[in-house]
Amino acid sequence: MKPELKVDMTVEAKLGTLEWKKSPEAHISLRDASPAAPCAAKCQDKPCVTVCPAKVYEWEPDHKKIVVNYENCIECGACRMLCPYDNIICDWPLGGMGVKYKYG
């Protein structure tokens, strides 16, 4: 029942207003990233893909896997709670790394 919304400013454009201090180390990973992972085998709705406010998670149908763009992350932590299969590990980035809000 996804509502069809007209989007004047895409999430990509919104993310364009932000700055990050890029971390060399990913702070997000999938417990199981294999083709047998629940993301491919079981998860129909993929709420990480549809809800993440920074579009960190993208489903690649050709490779049947979730791609994690951890550099986009704005560190809300919703993904861990959203994942129906507890397959997302999301800790904080290394000290000083990650999103740098100017207004907040």
Partner 1 sequence: MSESSYDAIVVGAGPAGISAAIVMARAGLKVALLERGEYPGAKNVQGAVLYSRMLHEILPDFWTMPGAALERPVVEQKTCVTTEDSWITFGYKSLKFLQGIPNCYTIIRVKFDQWYAAQAETAGAELFCGVTVREVIRKDGRIAGIKTSDGDELESSVVLACDGANSLLAQKAGLIDELKPVEVALGAKEVIGLDPKIIEDRFQLNPGEGSAMDIFGSVTLGMLGYAFLYTNKESLSLGVGCRLSDYQAKGLRPSDHLELVKRHPYVAKLISGGKTLEYSAHLIPEGGFKSMPPLFSDGFLVAGDAAQMTNPPYREGSNIAMTAGRLAGETVIEAKKKGDFSAASLSAYQLKLKASYVLSDMEDIKDLEDAVASVPGFLEAYPKLACDLAHLRFSADGVPKRQHLRQAFRLVADRGLWRIAKDLWPLRKVAI
Element containing residue 87 per DSSP (H, E): none
Residue 63 CB, nearest approach to partner 1 (Å): 22
Helices and strands of the chain, counted as H and E runs: 4, 6
Using the rule CB under 8 A, give the single segment among 9-17, 32-40, 60-68 that binds partner 1. 9-17
Residue span binding partner 1 (CB under 8 A) among the ranges 8-16, 32-40, 62-70: 8-16
Binding of partner 1 at residue 96 (CB under 8 A)?
yes
Closest CA to 99 of 67, 70, 78: 70
| Number of shown-chain residues binding partner 1 (CB under 8 A) | 43
